[in-house]
Amino acid sequence: MAKVEIWADGCAEPNPGPGGWGIVVKRDGETTELSAGFDHITNNRAELTAVLKGLQLCTEPGDEVTIHTDSKYCIGVLSGKWKKAKKNRDLIRAIWEASTGREVDYEWLPAEENWRADFLSRLNLPD
């Protein structure tokens, strides 16, 4: 069991349009950074994809995970504060499944404190 911190961000410019996701994962003193782009996506799907990709790196049962995001949408639909998501149910379900067997906390932070994940999410945008 380990404490894992994930900083996650996604973008779409324009929304919907080309976009990407980026994550910074800290576990056992090691940092992993990943990102990927999409030809066409919404901002909310990009944000959720970032969370999912971070959780997929948590392979040990019992991991205590904190996900830091500047997306109030992610926190609302994933924490259960928003009772029913109208869209992106496939990603929300996949995130819940990836959360099984571990404690996952969601923490909102201002965009400027999520700068590295934001930078990574924009790496694959067209010029």
Spans of all domains in the chain: 3-121
Count of Cβ atoms closer than 10 Å to residue 1 Cβ: 10
Contact criterion met (CB below 8 Å) for 123 and 20: yes
- CATH code of 3-121, in short, is 3.30.420.10
- Give the model confidence (pLDDT) of 60-112 as tens digits: 888 899 999 999 999 999 987 777 778 999 999 999 999 988 899 999 999 99
pTM: 0.94
Specify the pairing of strand 64-69 against strand 103-108. Answer: parallel
**Count of CB atoms within 10 A of residue 101's CB?**
10
For 12-39, what is each residue's pLDDT tens digit? 999 999 999 999 999 989 999 999 999 9
Burial class (CB in 10 A: 0-12, 13-18, 19+), 81: exposed
